[in-house]
Amino acid sequence: MALIRVGDKLIDRNRIDRAIDRILDERRKGRSQQEVAEKFKIDRSFISRLENLGEVRKGGTIAVIGFPIGNKEELHQVCQEEGVDFTLLLTEKERWAYVEERSGIELVNEIMQLIRRVRTYDTVIVLGSDKRVEMIQALLDTDVVSEPIGHSPLRQDVYYEPEKLRALIRALQGR
């Protein structure tokens, strides 16, 4: 138990954390600030201030997809630092392993699920060969920002400048 003494009050920090988790869970489910405030018997303005304290960015959701990427760890780190909602970066070896480890029907089902998931994001940044980027644009019913990294077919990992990705993400976020 994490108890904190504030004047003559003894405060349970874990209790506060659990309450905040429940409040944010209700908001994540789509309930309005007013509905959540009434449920927890708190002021709506408290919920607004709580959200403002933790806000990383405003704006639409962003996904980044790229293959074959030679510096995927660096790019993944940039995505994490910039608050990207979904990241899928694969090296050439990982891309082939993904295909070879699945039966035809498993591969089709997983790719369909991945397409469904990626379509839920407002903007998708695609790092890939010119033909792959074009195909992904045709499949997604969302705003696709294409970043061709070479001509098809790409058979080896490609280095993509991390700061170029950072600048692109920030531009999309309006920063």
| pTM value > 0.75 | no
What pLDDT sits at residue 110? 95
What pLDDT sits at residue 113? 95
Q: What is the largest CA-CA distance in the chain?
A: 70
What pLDDT sits at residue 141? 75
> Which pairs with CB-CB distance under 8 Å and at least 24 residues apart come from 16-24?
20/50, 23/47, 23/50, 24/50
What pLDDT sits at residue 173? 86
Q: Count H helices, E strands: the chain?
A: 8, 6
Cβ atoms of 82 and 169 closer than 8 Å = yes
> Whole-angstrom Cα distance, residue 119 to residue 106?
20
Average pLDDT of the residues in 118-141: 92
C-alpha to C-alpha distances, 88 to 20, 24, 127, 147, 156, nearest whole angstrom = 30, 26, 10, 15, 17
What pLDDT sits at residue 52? 84
What pLDDT sits at residue 107? 94
Average pLDDT of the residues in 95-123: 94
pLDDT in tens, 34-58: 999 999 999 999 999 998 887 655 6
pLDDT in tens, 154-167: 999 999 999 999 99
pLDDT in tens, 66-89: 999 999 999 999 999 999 999 999
| DSSP state letter for 121 | S
